[in-house]
Structure 1
Amino acid sequence: MNRTTDILKIKSVEQIPTLEQIGAIPRERKLKLVFERGVQNQRERIGQNLKNQLLDFQIGIHTIEPEINIAKLITDKEIEDNQDFFEQCAKDYRQLGEELIYKLVDKLELKLNKEFPLETFNQLIREDRGKGKIENWKYYVHGFHCGFDNVETGQYIEVPLVFGQEFGDLDPYFFSKYIKSTIKYKPLPIEIYEDYADGLKINEKMISLGKFEKISSNVGNHYGTVVSDRQKVEIKSYLDLEKMYNEQNKQNEKPKFNFWKFIGLKK
């Protein structure tokens, strides 16, 4: 469902809607404040004030155009009322991600590093095999993920590669895109308009409800969100990986292993 945008031209500060008026905007509508020349210099101050006051809204202060875009985010009550739906989506995401990763591993005859899958998939990029197709899915390796896009249904999922064999990390943006692209969920019981911002609120509320939980990754200071009701797997930290690789290298008389250099974050 697309949102309708209401445009309001602002010639003076007095024309800016009150917090109560903005708060009454339904989620299916957006408000765009277009500042005319006489008040353009106050746009950033006004936008920042709205951000501080309207915590349940996304306030976009345009960096070039003289405008502020205002959109109401999904509410805590809407998430709580639909918690069973979001929990099932998270379980489905995890199952599909795992299935696709292992299908790709089998097709390409990869030797998967189960402790650190990113090592295996980085090798695909170096071999110019980071993009391709498996069954009805196009795949492409990038960053800490392998993306899969179904050419028939349009379903889209990004599978994380830095949580060991845990393939259910729910990046807010990717989780929203997955839900919105999955045919069996339509019509959605609740609309998601702002993929990242709504997705972030969903994750945070589901964590507070005990349905989701935070996990650490193979990479320092990088964390994920997964469904709580799952078969848990061990995820080694980068310090654990460094220790493991260094013990192996010592036995084989190889140089000391540097994890950050290994994943391309340090030269």
Structure 2
Amino acid sequence: MNHATSTPRFLDCQTASDLCPIEQLRGQAESGQLVLRFSALGSDESTALISRLSRELDEHAIFQSRFGSDSQWITILPLVSKARIQAHRQAIHQAMRAYAQTCAELIGKYEADVLSQEWTVDDHGEHCQFVHAGSGQTVEAPFERLTHTSQIDPYFFAVFVKSTAELKPVAELIAHDFHDAARILEVMAAEAAGQSIG
């Protein structure tokens, strides 16, 4: 299910004790982004609740989306499932390898001043963004060579995958750029157990 276009739903509570049972929360979150709005939740309570929900809803991203004196919001975001990631394991590994290789090639050509004029370049410190004029492929490349999954930035990987036509099967797994890509990379890293991308 693609949740990218779903409108967030809100559940108003006073404290954590007002929350419905976890299975009911899971059901409510399955249809898309669920935002818990608390009117009387301290920062320590918020941290503890996020930790608990992260354990109990392990196929969801749980994060604080608003903090203020009047209210605190905690977002529950459904992620791509581990089963879907595993079913596309080979395509994902190929996408990771393609991202690492494309980064290395573009950085190498840029530093050697032989990069094709089809690429626009935005050098901003530790990274350099390359955008292909024809295809629209977008590559946010770190100057440091990528060798392991843990080095790949989830958002940069999502942008690359979504702008690379031949990686459409992997792009279809990513509804929420940062969170779904982080989930994919986390599952792949756990399976790789320290193996290199290549």
For the aligned pair, the TM-score class normalised by the smaller chain equals 0.7 to 0.9
Q: For residue 186 of structure 1, give the secondary structure of its aligned residue in structure 2.
A: helix
1:142-169 CA-to-partner distances (Å, cap 9, x unmatched) read 34322212344432212232239x6995
- Asked if the contact 1:6/1:31 (under 8 Å) is kept, the reply is yes
Q: Are 2:172 and 1:183 equivalent residues in the alignment?
A: no
1:59-78 CA-to-partner distances (Å, cap 9, x unmatched) read 12222353211112222212
RCO greater where, 1 or 2, for CA within 8 Å and sep 6 or more?
A: 2
Measured after TM superposition, the shift of residue 86 of structure 1 is 0.3
With over 3 angstroms needed to count, the CA separation of the structure-2 counterparts of 1:8 and 1:26, relative to structure 1, is: closer
Q: For residue 175 of structure 2, give the secondary structure of its aligned residue in structure 1.
A: coil
Q: For residue 93 of structure 1, give the secondary structure of its aligned residue in structure 2.
A: helix
- Asked if the contact 1:4/1:28 (under 8 Å) is kept, the reply is no
Q: For residue 100 of structure 1, give the secondary structure of its aligned residue in structure 2.
A: helix
Partner of 2:74: 68
Q: Please tell me the residue identity of whatever aligns with 1:172.
A: P
Measured after TM superposition, the shift of residue 58 of structure 1 is 1.5
Partner of 1:198: 180
Measured after TM superposition, the shift of residue 12 of structure 1 is 6.2
Measured after TM superposition, the shift of residue 3 of structure 1 is 3.2
Distance 1:69 1:59 in 2: 6
Measured after TM superposition, the shift of residue 175 of structure 1 is 1.2
| Structure 1 residues 116-265: aligned runs within 5 Å | 134-163=116-145, 170-186=152-168, 188=170, 190-210=172-192, 213=194, 226-227=196-197, 230=198
Q: Any unmatched runs of 5+ in structure 1? A: 110-132, 215-225, 231-267
When Rg is computed on C-alpha atoms for both structures, the one with the higher figure is 1
Distance 2:83 2:59 in 1: 12
| Structure 1 residues 67-86: aligned runs within 5 Å | 67-86=73-92
1:114-160 CA-to-partner distances (Å, cap 9, x unmatched) read xxxxxxxxxxxxxxxxxxx9523222233432221234443221223
Which deviates further from its counterpart, 87-96 or 193-202? Answer: 193-202
Measured after TM superposition, the shift of residue 29 of structure 1 is 0.6
- Asked if the contact 2:59/2:82 (under 8 Å) is kept, the reply is no
With over 3 angstroms needed to count, the CA separation of the structure-2 counterparts of 1:34 and 1:199, relative to structure 1, is: same
Measured after TM superposition, the shift of residue 18 of structure 1 is 1.9
Partner of 1:240: none
Total equivalences in the alignment = 189
Q: Please tell me the residue identity of whatever aligns with 2:153.
A: D
Distance 2:31 2:124 in 1: 33
Partner of 2:23: 20
Percent identical pairs in the alignment equals 25
- Asked if the contact 1:32/1:70 (under 8 Å) is kept, the reply is yes
Distance 2:100 2:12 in 1: 46
Measured after TM superposition, the shift of residue 81 of structure 1 is 0.7
Measured after TM superposition, the shift of residue 191 of structure 1 is 2.6
Distance 2:148 2:121 in 1: 15
Partner of 2:57: 54
Measured after TM superposition, the shift of residue 11 of structure 1 is 4.8
CA RMSD after TM alignment: 3.3
Partner of 1:101: 107
